[in-house]
């Protein structure tokens, strides 16, 4: 029996790795789409490949480097802007926003999913991102679904799901443990060194999630 296809926007981070485990456990074949947008932490693309191999999933890296080069001012893509340390709740984390990043990636995934006849497109956005990132909020998800329905009128319209959108990072860590997701292969750090820095916003959030969930953290941190 043929398994249905799920197309995931896939960074290779903690959230998307858990997302892959979530849909694998539900019996989907996975098409994982990673994006090279010139991020300084492109170490995540190596992790994405490793996680894809774990699930024996089809994996592609979409080249958006030209787009990223035209979007200065974000700590993720602009070498002149320092990656801030601290927690995502802090105002300083706004400098990590890449304008419309998730919308761009999601729409690429939706187009590919339609062409491939996939049942769904899944995003790993979660409640902890709502304060800083507009394209991680439920309102964005609602608008994205409306846009896809209009843009694909008369063609295959995949369901657009974000099963973690109202859940915390702590919940994701717990869910990942339940699914035995390969988080030891995942990458979160925005500074992009050999190991997780342990102090940037995404490392801070990752550490906190494992601690609060009371589950083992397989991550090697520099601090």
- Which pair of tokens denotes residue 164? 């973690």
Task: Tell whether 90 is covered by a domain.
Answer: yes
CB under 8 Å to 32, separation ≥6 — which residues? 8, 10, 20, 48, 51, 52, 55, 57, 58, 59, 60
- Low-confidence residues of the chain: pLDDT under 50: none
Task: Tell whether 22 is covered by a domain.
Answer: yes
Q: What percent of the chain has pLDDT over 90?
A: 90
pLDDT of residue 160: 98
pTM: 0.96
CA distance 5 to 144: 20
pLDDT of residue 156: 96
- DSSP characters over 169-194: HHHHHHHHHHHT--GGG----SS--S
Task: Tell whether 220 is covered by a domain.
Answer: no
pLDDT of residue 131: 82
Host domain of residue 126: 5-213
pLDDT of residue 88: 66
Q: What is the CATH number of the domain that holds 180?
A: 3.40.50.620
Task: Tell whether 191 is covered by a domain.
Answer: yes
Give the total number of structural domains in the chain: 1
The tens digit of pLDDT for each residue in 19-72 reads: 999 999 999 999 999 999 999 999 999 999 999 999 999 999 999 999 999 999
pLDDT of residue 93: 82
Task: Tell whether 221 is covered by a domain.
Answer: no
Cβ atoms of 134 and 155 within 8 Å: the answer is: no
Task: Tell whether 79 is covered by a domain.
Answer: yes
The tens digit of pLDDT for each residue in 58-81 reads: 999 999 999 999 999 999 999 899
């Amino acid at each position: 029996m043929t398994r249905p296809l799920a197309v995931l926007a896939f960074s290779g981070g903690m959230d998307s790795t858990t997302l892959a485990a979530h849909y694998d456990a539900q019996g989907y074949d996975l098409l994982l789409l990673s994006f090279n947008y010139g991020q300084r932490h492109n170490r995540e693309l190596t992790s994405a490949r490793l996680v894809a191999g774990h699930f024996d999933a089809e994996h592609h890296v979409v080249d958006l480097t030209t787009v990223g080069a035209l979007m200065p001012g974000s700590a993720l893509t602009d070498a002149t802007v320092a990656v801030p340390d601290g927690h995502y709740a802090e105002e300083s984390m706004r400098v990590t926003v890449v304008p419309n990043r998730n919308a761009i990636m999601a729409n690429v995934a939706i187009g590919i999913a339609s062409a491939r006849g996939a049942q769904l497109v899944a995003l790993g956005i979660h409640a902890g991102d709502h304060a800083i990132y507009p394209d991680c909020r439920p309102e964005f998800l609602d608008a994205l679904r409306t846009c896809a329905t209009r843009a694909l009128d008369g063609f295959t319209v995949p369901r657009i799901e974000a099963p973690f959108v109202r859940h915390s990072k702590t919940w994701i860590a717990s869910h990942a443990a339940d699914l035995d997701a390969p988080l030891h292969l995942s990458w979160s750090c925005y500074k992009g060194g050999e190991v997780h820095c342990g102090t940037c916003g995404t490392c801070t959030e990752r550490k906190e999630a494992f601690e609060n969930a009371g589950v083992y953290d397989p991550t090697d941190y520099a601090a």
